[in-house]
Amino acid sequence: MPAVPQVTKGGPRSYVVVAGQSVAAGTFVEGRAGGRIGTAAAGTTRALGVALQDAIAPEQLVTTATNNGGRPVLNMTTLPQNVAVAYGFVEVNVVFSAAAQFGDRLVVTANGQVAPAGATPDQRTVVGICTSPSGVSGAGQVGLVRVTI
């Protein structure tokens, strides 16, 4: 093979959401069957990065919605079906499921959120470092994370 084409240089990279699911901005996503993505499960080793916007699967897109009277209603504010995913030592805002200190290593918890990894984490599950200078005060808070996957 005389040459290899470079696929991406620094991201983000776009993916399609798996059928029957949606993805929220600021949460980690993981690889699923068929080259699609979904919200990352707790302790995943398949995390790809952080979703940069909300998105739905193409199968979820409704273009002929009707109201209670059966009249068609067109919704001009549909969510995108492709989602940009940040990865590879970039800093982005992520939703936390627990308080974290500046410098804590982070793992994915439920719903694609992150929490401190603890003293002896499985290194395959560490997805980032808390870079919010004041840390993050608790569950549901948004803080800066340097993505390390």
Measure the CA–CA gap between 118 and 106, rounded to whole angstroms: 8
Q: Do 26 and 51 touch, CB atoms closer than 8 A? A: yes
| Residue range 88-135, pLDDT digits in tens | 989 999 999 999 999 999 999 999 999 999 999 999 999 999 999 999
Measure the CA–CA gap between 107 and 105, rounded to whole angstroms: 7
Measure the CA–CA gap between 98 and 105, rounded to whole angstroms: 13
**Confidence check: pLDDT of 33 > 80:** yes
Q: Which domains does the chain have, with CATH numbers?
A: 13-147 (2.40.300.10)
**Confidence check: pLDDT of 7 > 90:** no
Measure the CA–CA gap between 39 and 139, rounded to whole angstroms: 18
| Residue range 38-85, pLDDT digits in tens | 999 999 999 999 999 999 999 887 666 666 677 766 666 677 889 999
**Which DSSP symbol is given to 124?**
G
Question: pTM of the predicted model, to two decimals?
Answer: 0.87
125 Cβ contact partners less than 8 Å away, ≥ 6 residues apart: 43, 44, 45, 107, 108, 117
**Confidence check: pLDDT of 37 > 80:** yes
Residues in the chain: 149
Q: How confident is the model at residue 10 (pLDDT cuts 50, 70, 90)?
A: confident
